[in-house]
Amino acid sequence: MQFKGRMNGSKSPADLALLDDIEKVAVDRDRDAFGRLYGFYAPRIAAYLRRVGARNDAAEDLAQEVLLSVWRRAHQFDPQKAALSTWVYTIARNKRIDALRRERHPEFDLDDPTMEEAEAPRGDTYTETEMVKDEIRTAIASLPHEQAQLLRIFYFEDKTHSVIADELGLPLGTVKSRLRLAVAKLRSLLEGVG
């Protein structure tokens, strides 16, 4: 790794400090330097992972995996080939791709008791459940379009308030207040339904 002779002219003091920290981690396994790298990159990586579709808990876990890779592979970083942030975010992107592959092709333990087939629902329970689902669909359809759309995105697509605000170009407060109104209207429409 060639940290000496890097071009310092275009780097900010914060960038230079991070480069010094990665060098200390690579050469001396300096835990304090790693702590500073972690403090800087962990929230940024988690936010990036959420933006590319990871759930909150998965984003936090993946951010920790990324930074563990940074700790283990700090000696592989070459500032002549890429900026530190580029190197770190490339690791994050690759960890996200690996996680998606694991999700699509999970490993199954056939001895796991949860893998046993569940009993088929009784006919009356199934019919009742379908009736409740129809009532909910009808209630949502009777809401104003904006509120119904927000309910679908928030509950069925499992997106956060801030992601919804970004996607729809709405202020965060507007998203929250419309959702509150939608839930209140939905509750009143569904009173007495199973």
Q: What is the pTM of this model?
A: 0.51
Residue 15 in contact with residue 86, Cβ under 8 Å?
A: no
Which of 73, 104, 135 is a domain's end point? 104
* Same domain as 173, residue 134: yes
CA distance 48 to 92: 9
| Position 88 in a domain | yes
Strand, coil or helix: what is 2? coil
pLDDT at 105: 65
CATH number of 43's domain: 1.10.1740.10
Range of the domain at 165: 115-188
| Position 3 in a domain | no
Residue 106 in contact with residue 164, Cβ under 8 Å?
A: no
* Same domain as 85, residue 22: yes
| Position 87 in a domain | yes
* Same domain as 99, residue 124: no
* Same domain as 70, residue 28: yes
- How many separate domains does the chain show? 2
pLDDT at 152: 83
| Position 194 in a domain | no
* Same domain as 29, residue 98: yes
* Same domain as 96, residue 149: no
* Same domain as 174, residue 154: yes
**Chain segment 139-152, per-residue pLDDT in tens:** 888 888 888 888 88
| Position 8 in a domain | no
pLDDT of 108 higher than 80: no
CA distance 153 to 133: 17
Q: How confident is the model at residue 154 (pLDDT cuts 50, 70, 90)?
A: confident
CA distance 49 to 53: 6
**Chain segment 64-99, per-residue pLDDT in tens:** 999 999 999 999 999 999 899 999 999 999 999 888
Q: What is the dihedral of CA 184, 186, 191, 192, to 10 degrees?
A: -160
- Give whichever of 14-18, 26-30, 164-168, 170-174 has the largest mean pLDDT: 26-30
* Same domain as 91, residue 39: yes
* Same domain as 141, residue 168: yes
Which of 75, 104, 133 is a domain's end point? 104
* Same domain as 120, residue 97: no
